[in-house]
Amino acid sequence: MAGDTFTITDGYRRTEEAFREACIAAGRGLGEVKLIAVSKTFPAEAVREAYGLGQRLFGENRAQELTEKQPVLPKDIEWHFIGRLQRNKVKYIIDKAAMIHSVDSAALAREISRQALLKQVEASVLIEVNLDGEETKAGFGAEGLRQGLEEIAALPGVHVLGLMTIGQYHEDPEGSRALFRRMRALRDEAASWAVPGADIRYLSMGMSHDFEAAIAEGADYVRVGTAIFGGR
């Protein structure tokens, strides 16, 4: 890319092509893996440009940004909330996000349940898992997952559909593979618990630098920002 300027159109096309190739290499049917374009910090105009190229799933990590962009953009956009969600912000996004990827505590899930009942919606959520045990990252460890899942899945108005993780940044994207593989094994194990009310199917993992490895290891949702929209 030396010398030329970044455009969203180029970023999107390159990402889409790499995404498609990774799906084919992994033997995943098109449409089986979902590409979420992470538009955080970028204006509605940027979303509109990617939308014009055919993108329909977008990810935001701040309640305020989502509530600002959602009303001015096409109604068939599917918004995914991917960032740390403060409990007092749940009410702003509960009826705007198609899926909340980042449920990192039972307390947050209880507020999601409360707001879902108030707004009469069903909240689709993923449970955030932190297998690295990094203090700076939110989420359930492997040990606490089952109990958390049982508690969250029992809440009315909350539909648990799988697990999400934010990997560590590795210079070499292959470095993320071991974590992705452990996530897949954990998803399969969690599904085997057959927790009442939970429907453990999806894995949300992989970002700009490692989404191909995530697809190879079984991701159902990849969350790609920088590669599509440029640096933040």
Ligand X SMILES: *Cc1c(COP(=O)(O)O)cnc(C)c1O
Binding site for ligand X (CB under 6 A): 38, 40, 61, 82-83, 166, 207-208, 223-227
Determine the residue with CB nearest ligand X: 225
To ligand X, the closest distance from the beta carbon of 45 in angstroms equals 18
Toward ligand X, which CB reaches closer, 106 or 205? Answer: 205
To ligand X, the closest distance from the beta carbon of 112 in angstroms equals 17
To ligand X, the closest distance from the beta carbon of 156 in angstroms equals 27
Toward ligand X, which CB reaches closer, 29 or 231? Answer: 231
To ligand X, the closest distance from the beta carbon of 164 in angstroms equals 8
Toward ligand X, which CB reaches closer, 162 or 225? Answer: 225
Show Cβ contacts of residue 205 under 8 Å, excluding neighbours closer than 6 positions.
164, 165, 167, 179, 180, 183, 214, 217, 219, 221, 222
Toward ligand X, which CB reaches closer, 116 or 227? Answer: 227
